Amino acid sequence: MNLYTTLQKLCTCPSVSGREESIRELLRELISSFVDEVSVDNLGNLIARKKAKNAKAKKVMLCAHMDEIGFLVTFIEDNGMIRVAPVGGISLSAAAYSEVVSEKRVAGVIVPESKTKPKEYAIDKFYVDIGAKDRKSAERKVSIGDFFVVRGGVRRLAGNRICGRPLDDRIGCAILLSLAERLASVETACDIYYVFSVQEEVGCRGALPAAFGISPDVSLCFDVTGTGDTPGADPMACALGKGAAVKIKDSSVICHEEVVATLCSLAETHKIPYQREILLYGGTDTAPMQLSGSGSRAGALSIPCRYIHSAVETCDLGDAEACVSLAEQFVLTLK
């Protein structure tokens, strides 16, 4: 499975946190032929299971979130302009003057009120303009509670670099699909649960019940991480093009020491490029997977990403390929 081609499909499917139906059905279609069963839990997580022959096999959970940040419609003004509320960690500076699209594929632009200076940006000073001449015409296309997202898509840059949105975390989803394809015909010692989680962007909500229901012995999260390789960036060891980032900790989790050591050792043995990640802010689904139920030995493979939560998130496909290869070797070592 070609990662770039897969991302082209995934990134043009708008699915804000809590409204993941569209991306879930696309992912179900793409992974079904590589696994033994596919289900959806009560919260909406997509769970694809590849069974081991041993009925008492241990369980490994591999997780990437399928939701994205966006906006919910809260009010439609008499002039047809649409007021919205943020869903997830929105940067208004990054979102200003962007093209947006609704779940009904209604196009618009999100802009600040006239004469609003960047230092004055606040969500109550922003609105979506869909070109409607008044409230009545706007209501024919948009309802209170509809969502908008900055229009998605992915483009190639120089070399292996790509940019677009929402690479956070459709690139993690693409990695899971590629991994599932590689392992489809391999007899593994563990049951593998590929989990595409919901509502990560609003508090890592989906992975918690998914992990509780699966009760994995080992778990790996796949998500983007920051970098220190741009002008003015805070010091950070991660950079684009240096391989899979093996997470050691972030602000929500300290990864299992044995999992970290195993991933690093496998990378060196199989000559897979990797780097060590310590993220001083934010968190991922790693934390709820680690703590759910009786807990699991949790780790994470991150994809370095510049300009996270913008319309031009930038990654290196070589780093994503390294994550696929390293995760494959990790799963094959589990007994």
Q: Which two tokens stand for residue 229?
A: 């390789």
| Catalytic site includes residue 200 | yes
**Does residue 272 contact residue 325 with C-beta atoms inside 8 Å?**
yes
Task: Select which of 68, 200, 313, 328 is catalytic.
Answer: 200
**Does residue 129 contact residue 73 with C-beta atoms inside 8 Å?**
no
Is cis: bond before 273, omega within 30 of 0? no
DSSP assignment of 194-263 equals EEEES-GGGTSTTHHHHHHHH--SEEEEEEEE--S-STTPPP-S--TTS-EEEEEE-SS-B--HHHHHHH
Q: Which two tokens stand for residue 130?
A: 């869909």
Q: Are strands 191-197 and 46-50 parallel, antiparallel or unpaired?
A: antiparallel
Query: For the chain, where are the alpha helices, taking DSSP H only?
Result: 3-10, 21-31, 92-95, 135-139, 167-183, 207-214, 257-269, 286-291, 317-333
Q: CB count, 10 Å around CB of 268?
A: 10
Give the residue numbers marked as catalytic.
200
